[in-house]
Amino acid sequence: MQQTIKEVTEGLEQYDTVKPTEALQDFLDDLSNWYLRRSRERIWKSELDNDKVAAYLTLYECLTTLVTLLSPFIPFMTEELYQNLVRSVNENAPLSVHLCDWPGVHEELVDEQLTSETHLVMRIVGLGRSAREKAQIRVRQPLNALYVRVPSLAEEEALYRLSEQVLEELNIKSLQLISNESDMLAYTLKPQVKVLGPKYGPLVQKILARFKALDAHGTQEAAKLLNDSGSLNFTIEGQQVKLTLDEVEVVATATPGFVTAEERGYIVALETTISIDHKNTPSFGEVYRETISPTSLKKLEGYTAEVVLGKM
């Protein structure tokens, strides 16, 4: 919230409306698609305890501040929202949202570590959902394991600490980190000719030939270097070549039985094994696992899968 107030204020002071509206849109997306999602149990539980009150007050603070920040952009809509949210419960509040003081930034409330760790969890969850879509496996289907690779040790530690949130959002039982030496992933490097052409001209063909000449180990090392440092440096005909992730796409392909999604060094691999748990069914007392191909799984959507053990 405080970072959004800062970005919107600085942008408007420079007569810039693009960056402030982008910041407001990002904040609204995070509020609705993450904070509210993660706070559903707190908000909807029956008892009115301190935790529920805190969730409501936090949401109210965000909404009223958001209305004020949006007022220069959508004055009439925000006025209607202000009257419903604020004036209806506080007669002493200013008569209009346009008469309110502009929100100030409280730097003491900014927690950079919390913000970065939350964005990390959101990124991994987003990649996990993308991987599920690739495999055509809906979130309601529990999966056994999620394998993740992140660029730094600090992010690895944070991800382990916050793994429960990731697993709950993706409906997966366990999370494991992929080491750099793992053979779970095979990498392919795809130079972006349209980007490289204007920059290197006739040298592009030699750059492409350089990539084609790489063996599996060389490709793996180049991909790791690109993901870790963000660039790849080498010399061709005495000219220094520096390629970035915008100029070379790194594609990770999982071994059979897995599906991946990646974004600038962040890689998620899903084990596409469907877990069928019959512990609460009188006829069955164990957990059975059955590997179903994405195509077969799509055909089975809407049906109940049963494991027959030879006894009826």
pLDDT tens for each residue of 230-244: 888 888 877 888 888
> Which of the two residues, 170 and 281, has the higher pLDDT score?
170
pLDDT digits (tens, 9 = 90+) for 130-167: 999 988 888 888 888 899 988 888 999 999 999 999 99
The pLDDT tens digits of the residues spanning 56-96 come to 999 999 999 999 999 999 999 999 999 999 999 999 999 99
- DSSP H or E stretch at residue 79: helix 75-82
Cα 125 to chain centroid, rounded? 5
SS3 (DSSP) at 297: helix
pLDDT value for 300: 43
**What's the mean pLDDT when you consider all of the chain?**
82
Domains of the chain by start residue, with CATH = 2-107 (1.10.730.10), 113-181+255-300 (no CATH), 185-253 (3.30.720.200)
Q: What is the pTM of this model?
A: 0.69
Residue 311 carries which DSSP code?
-
**Phi and psi for 208 in degrees, rounded to 5?**
-60, -40
Helix, strand, or coil here: 94? coil
For residue 103, is pLDDT > 90? yes
Q: Please report the pLDDT score of residue 61 as a whole number.
A: 94
Residue 304, pLDDT > 70, answer no
**197-201-204 Cα angle (round to 5):** 70
Farthest-apart Cα atoms in the chain, separation: 76
pLDDT at position 310: 35
Q: How many CA atoms lie within 13 A of 140 on its CB side?
A: 4
Work out the average pLDDT over 42-67. 92
Task: Tell whether the model's pLDDT for residue 284 goes beyond 50.
Answer: no
Amino acid at 16: D
Residue 290 has pLDDT above 50, yes or no: no
